[in-house]
Structure 1
């Protein structure tokens, strides 16, 4: 919405300041901006088409870079993959999973990232707590 408002203001200022030549210049700048946006979207989609749907390298690292308000184009650019749609969870919900089975579920509202969850597999290997002391070493054999 803001982009269209800025385009209208640029067109009005161009016409008001320089007449029809200013309007043509403003229109040329607007068309150039739209072509740049289209090119950016096509580049992201081309990269995403080379990867399996809903897969990414590392879900934990990916979720650490997420921010509220990101667009789907930004997400696809980071994952280099199209997400797997999850209509049973909501209207605009998508999931990406890594090779270890860890997944990230993203919830979009009005085209922007609203919230996300990191889903770890329940049947994964049991891990020791981070603050646990190391296990004692076996005593050396007697000589």
Structure 2
């Protein structure tokens, strides 16, 4: 079990215990209601992210470079799906999960998840895309 799951369950049990000590069985019912409500909110949030990501083509993103700039270590997959706007193409299954997103210019972002959190990522560009980006000069 990861640290977040242990903390969540500990807080849930503590809420029920405090409810029992303070108000008896009514406190247990109230604390259980709050815990279930919190779980439903989290489930709804994850479903909304998945529904929005499923509406776009799998593995495509408007700009892999911009997505690369927004990533942080430790992000959850649902957070990355909201940033990408689409489901990633799954590359490997074991032991870490690796997903890819590509844009129209040929740039490809590869993200590796370990324990449900973003561990490593890298941006790969086609050689001609890199050369054209380096030769372009800003207008001005």
Scaled to the shorter chain, the TM-score interval is 0.7 to 0.9
Structure 1 pair 26–102 and aligned structure 2 pair: CA distance change class (3 A): same
- Greater than 3 Å deviation, 4+ residue runs: 88-91, 127-130
Equivalent residue number for residue 44 of structure 2: 39
Worse overlay, 89-98 or 111-120: 89-98
- Cα deviation for residue 27 of structure 1 reads 0.4
Q: Output the CA distance in 2 between the equivalents of 1:111 and 1:90.
A: 11
Equivalent residue number for residue 98 of structure 1: 103
Which structure is higher in helix share?
2
- Cα deviation for residue 61 of structure 1 reads 0.8
- Cα deviation for residue 33 of structure 1 reads 0.5
- Cα deviation for residue 127 of structure 1 reads 3.5
Alignment of 1:56-71 (within 5 A): 56-71=61-76
- Cα deviation for residue 126 of structure 1 reads 2.5
Structure 2 residue 29 is matched with structure 1 residue 28: no
- Cα deviation for residue 90 of structure 1 reads 6.2
Equivalent residue number for residue 89 of structure 2: 84
Q: Output the CA distance in 1 between the equivalents of 2:120 and 2:133.
A: 29
Return the index of the structure with the highest Cα Rg. Answer: 1
Gaps of 5+ in 1: 133-143
Q: Give the TM-score, by structure 2 length.
A: 0.85
- Cα deviation for residue 123 of structure 1 reads 3.5
Q: Output the CA distance in 1 between the equivalents of 2:125 and 2:28.
A: 55
CA RMSD in angstroms, aligned pairs only: 2.0
Select which of 49, 63, 80 maps to 2:54. 49
Equivalent residue number for residue 4 of structure 1: 9
Deviations 1:11-70 (A, max 9, x none): 111111111111111000011101111111111111111100011111111111111110
Q: Output the CA distance in 2 between the equivalents of 1:103 and 1:95.
A: 7
